[in-house]
């Protein structure tokens, strides 16, 4: 497993990566102290559209719903910056999830995030989906109702809840939605497993990790939680993603030193002569 270092920013939009501003953004992130970032590609079931019916005799086109992860060329001066690939799934029906899981491109992503937009999708996320990040759209209020039981269920399954700070900077209505969602996380689960990402498309919206720590107080986070939101939790997400991609495994742990010591003790006992009986 490759080593990743902090600080972490797990949401650099695909729009930024495909435009000419990515090099500038990457250099700025490195300058601010970030060492691991993720390019975020989105699958929205509303944009897939209905299937066209094929006429009899026509060859069916095999279309992969999951796009190929973007490959970014190494930027001069940014050798220390580790660039990962992230997939965000926006869905309201579980049918699209089955198609995504069958895709060969799905396992090529380092990080997978889900963004449910209905109560049924939220329930399915809590029970069945194996992903790393729980996200939401700051432009709209959530169409589902999260409670303490569902929050704890997501935490037990290894999910991390994402807050984006750039929408809170550029728009007042989005700022209200982000703060409201962060306070929901605090009331439901005491702000456990919270990460903070940028979601920025320009260098103007980027902030340093130390500014994010101060911003965490506005989101209801303690100082330790704010530091983990851009530090330790980022590493945990990467490790969780590696386990998700490679599947389950079984390990046998054995203490060799203690077993060898027992064998030596047994041999020493066998080599010793039997004790003679003494008359009293």
Q: What is the pLDDT of residues 30-55, one digit of tens each?
A: 999 999 999 999 998 777 655 555 55
Burial of 133 (0-12, 13-18, 19+ CB in 10 A): buried
* Mean pLDDT confidence for 207-224: 92
pLDDT at 86: 95
In CATH terms, the superfamily for domain 8-249 is Metal-dependent hydrolases (3.20.20.140)
- Whole-model pTM? 0.82
pLDDT at 6: 81
User: Which residue, chain included where needed, has tokens 């432009």?
Assistant: 139
Average pLDDT, the chain: 84
Q: Which of 164, 170, 202 is nearest to 23 (CA)?
A: 202
Q: How far apart, in whole angstroms, are the C-alpha atoms of residue 162 and residue 154?
A: 13
Render 102-134 in DSSP notation, one character per residue. T-TTGGG-SEEEEEE-SHHHHHHHHHT---SEE
CA atoms within 13 A on the CB side of 269: 6
pLDDT at 267: 46
Query: Is 50 exceeded by the pLDDT of residue 203?
Result: yes
Q: What is the pLDDT of residues 221-236, one digit of tens each?
A: 999 999 999 999 999 9
Q: How far apart, in whole angstroms, are the C-alpha atoms of residue 186 and residue 126?
A: 18
Q: What is the token pair recorded at 236?
A: 């945990």
* Mean pLDDT confidence for 164-174: 91
């Amino acid at each position: 497993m490759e080593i990743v270092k902090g600080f972490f920013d797990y949401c650099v939009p695909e729009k930024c990566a495909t435009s000419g501003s990515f090099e500038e953004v990457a250099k700025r992130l490195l300058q601010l102290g970030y060492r691991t970032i993720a390019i975020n590609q989105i699958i929205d079931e509303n944009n897939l559209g209905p299937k066209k019916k094929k006429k009899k005799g026509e060859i069916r086109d095999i279309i992969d719903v999951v796009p190929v992860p973007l490959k970014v060329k190494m930027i001069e001066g940014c050798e220390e910056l580790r660039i990962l690939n992230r997939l965000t799934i926006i869905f309201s029906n579980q049918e699209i999830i089955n198609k995504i899981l069958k895709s060969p491109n799905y396992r090529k992503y380092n990080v997978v995030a889900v963004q449910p937009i209905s109560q049924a999708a939220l329930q399915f996320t809590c029970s069945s989906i194996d992903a790393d990040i729980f996200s939401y759209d700051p432009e709209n209020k959530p169409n589902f109702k999260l409670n303490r039981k569902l929050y704890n269920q997501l935490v037990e399954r290894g999910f991390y809840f994402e807050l984006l700070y750039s929408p809170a900077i550029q728009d007042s209505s989005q700022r209200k939605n982000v703060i409201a969602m962060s306070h929901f996380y605090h009331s439901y689960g005491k702000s456990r497993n919270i990460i903070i990402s940028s979601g920025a498309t320009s260098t103007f919206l980027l902030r340093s990790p130390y500014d994010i720590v101060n911003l965490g107080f506005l989101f209801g986070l303690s100082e330790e939680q704010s530091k983990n939101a851009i530090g330790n939790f980022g590493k945990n997400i990467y490790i969780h993603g590696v386990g998700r991609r490679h599947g389950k495994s079984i390990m046998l742990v054995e203490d060799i030193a203690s077993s060898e010591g027992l064998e030596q003790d047994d041999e020493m006992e066998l080599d010793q002569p039997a004790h003679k009986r003494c008359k009293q």
